[in-house]
Structure 1
Amino acid sequence: MTGLRGLLAAALVTSAAGATAGCGLGLDDVPLPDLVEGPTYSVTLEFIDALNLPIDAPVKLEGATVGQVTEIEAGAYVAEVEVALSESVELRTGSRAEIRLTSPMGTAFVELFPARRGLVMAEGDVLPATATGTAPDVTDLLSALSTVVTGGSFDDISTIITQLNVALTGNAGDVRLFLGRLDRAVTDLASDLPLVDRLTAAVGRLSSRLASDLPVITRSLVDLTDLVESFEAQRSELVAALDALRRFDAVATPFTRTVRADLLAQLEDMRPVVQTLLDGRQDIDGIMNGLIAFASGSDRAAPGDYVNFDLTFLADLEALLQFHHGDEPPVDPDIPERGGAR
C-alpha cells in the first residue's frame, strides 16, 4: 500500500508539472500573499536613491509591518515609491521614511518615522524627498573600508598619536586635572539631562509656534521696514524738531519757574486783603441790606414816573448795621403809603 501511494503521489506531481509546463507558467507568476490584512490606502514616497528596493517590500513602523511597496516609478530626479498602508496607521505630514536593509547582505524595506503633529495623510498624498532618506549599505561600508585600508587615515592617526605624546610630555598633572574637571562636567550634564530635555522640548514648541505665526511675523517685519524707511527719510526733520524742543525746554523751564515765583508772591500779597474782607463780611452784609431797604422805601415814596424834591439826610451806619436781610424797614408816618392817603 505504501508503494502504491508513492506511485500515485509521483504521478500527481508529474501531471501538475506537465500542466504547468504546457501553460508556460513559473514560480514568478505565483502571486505573493499580502503583507497587511484589511483595508489600505496608497501614499507615494519620493526617494533620491531607492537602492535595490523590490516590489512587495515590507513597510515597517517600530518593527511591525504596516504596509508594502506596490509600485516604483522614475519621476523628476526622484524615485516615486507607491506604498499601501493599513488604514489603522495615521501617517501625518512631517513624517519621515527611510530605506533600510534587514542585514548587511539582506533585502531592503521601508521604515516609517511618524510625526506627532500635522495633518493626517490620505489617499494619493505625497511625502517629498526632503523627508526621506536611505541608510548606509554594504557599498558605503566597503568604500569607507577601502579608504582606511589603502592608508587614507593611517597617516592622520600617526600624526594624532605623535601630537598627543608631545602634548602630554611634562603636562601629566595638568592633563589629569583637566580630565577630572571634564568628568565632573559630564556628570553634572548627565544629571541635568531631564532639564535639557524639557528645555529642548520647550524650544521645539516655540519653534512650532513661530513657524505657525511666520506669515504674521513676515508682515510685521515688512511693516517695520517701511516704518524704518519712513523715519530714515524724515531723519533730518526729526533731528531738527528734537533740537528745537531742546532749545524750547532751555527757555521754558526758567520762564515757568519765574512765573511760578511771581504768582506765589502776588497770592501772598492778596492774603491780607482777602483776610480783611472775610473779617468784615458781617458789616458789609449789614450795609448792603440797609441800602436795599432804602431803595425799597424810595420806590414807595415816589410811585410816579418822576419826582422832584430836595432831601437832606444823615446816614447812621450803626442803625443800618442793625438791619438783616429779609427784615421789613420801619414805617415813617409822614410818608404816605402807595395807594393810600398816608
Structure 2
Amino acid sequence: MSRRFHVVIAAVLAFALSGCTFNGIYDLPLPGNKVSKDNGFEISADFSDALNVVPRSAVMVGDVPVGQVEEIVRSGWNARVKMLVRNDVVLPDNAVAEIRQTSLLGEKYVELSAPVGADGKPAGTGKLGPNDVIPMDRTGRNPEVEEVLGALSFVLTGGGLGQLQTITRELNAMMDGRTDKMRDVLTQVNTLVGTLDSQKGDIINALESINGLSQTLVSEKETIGKAIDAAGPAIDVLRDQHDQLVGMLAELDKLGVVGTRVVNATKDDLIAELRHLEPVLRNLSDTGKSLVPGLVTASSYPFPIDAADVIKGDFANVVFSMQVKLTPVSEGGLLPTTLDEIVTLCRGLPTAPICSLASGVFDPICALLPLLPLCEAADPESLAANGQPDTLLHDLLTGKSGDSGAESDADTGSNGLVDLIGGLAGGGKR
C-alpha cells in the first residue's frame, strides 16, 4: 500500500516539476482517442440546450467516432460546442448536428450528418471546413428520459386518461338511442367528403382564381379607393334628390300604363303596317350596294356628280345636243296618226277616263271634216251614213271658194285650216 502511495506521489511531483498546468480531470487523455490538432480541424455548433454534453464527449458520423468535444462556451443565451474532427471526415457545409445518447442511460455524444432532401436522399452542398459554425436552425437534441417519463406520468395520473374517460362517457350518453341517426349522419358526411374529394381539382382552381382576384384587388387598391371616394359626392346628390327620383318613377309608372294601353290598341294596325312595309324593305335590301350610288346620281341629275370639278366660278358653259324623232304609235313611237291611235295613247295616260267618254265624238268630226289627215282611215260607208259635210264649212276648211271651177290658194300650196290642223296633228300636207 505504501509503495503505491509513493508511486502516485512521485508521479504528481514529476508532473509539477515539468512546469505544465493541470486543469482537472478533463486534461487527462481518454483511452482510444486518436484525434489531435495535428490530424484534425475545429468546427463549432450552436445549441439552445447542450444537455449533459461535456468536454471529451464523442463526435460521431454514422455511429463511427470521428472526433471529440473540445470546449463548451456561452454564446448569448445559447451554448456553443467546439469540436475537433479528423481531416478525413467529408461533410457538406450545411451539415446537421444533433445531441444523441448511446443508450437509455448511456452517455451523450454529438452526431454530425448531411441534411436529407425531399426525396429522402442526402442533399448537401460544398464541404465542411475548419472554423465553420453550424447555426441553431441546423442543430437539435433527442428527448430526455426524464421528459418522457414526466409526460407519461401526466397521462397516467388523471391527465389525458381521465379526460378520455369523461369524453367516452359523454359520447355514449349522446349516442344512446340515436345510433341510426348517427349512422345516417356519418353516411352523409362520407358522401360529402367523397364529393369534395372528387371535385378537389375544381376547388383548387376556384381558390387559385380567388387568389388571382385578391392579388388584382390588392394591386388596384389605390384605384378602388379613389373610385369609392369619388362615389361619395354622387351618393350625396342622390340622397338629396330622393323625393324627385321617387316622383319621377311614379310618373314613369303612369306613362307606362298609358303606353301599354296605346300599344294594345294599335298593335294590330302596327303589325299590319309592318307586314305591308316588309316587301318594300326587302326590295331595298335586295338593291345591295347599288342603292346609295343610284341615289347620289339621281340627286345630281341631269349633271353627273363629277361636274362640280369642272365648274370654276359662277358660270359653266354647257352644250346640249338633243335629237327628237317623231315615230308613229304604230311603229312604237308616241306620234298618233289615226283617231284610234289617239284614243289608245290617251287611255294610257292619267286622262284615260276622259278619253273613254270622248271616244265616240271623233266620228262626227271626221264626217264633218273628212279631209283631216287623222280621218284618212275613216270608213267611207260611215261617212255616207253621217251625210256629206256642209259645203261652206268644207270650203272654209279646205281654203276653196264657192265656185268649184275657180282655183284658190290650194294651187299655190295652201289648203287653209285643214293644212293648219293637219300640221298640228302630225299629218303634214296631203
TM-score, normalised relative to structure 2: 0.36
Higher radius of gyration, 1 or 2 = 2
More relative contact order, 1 or 2 (CA 8 Å, 6+ apart): 1
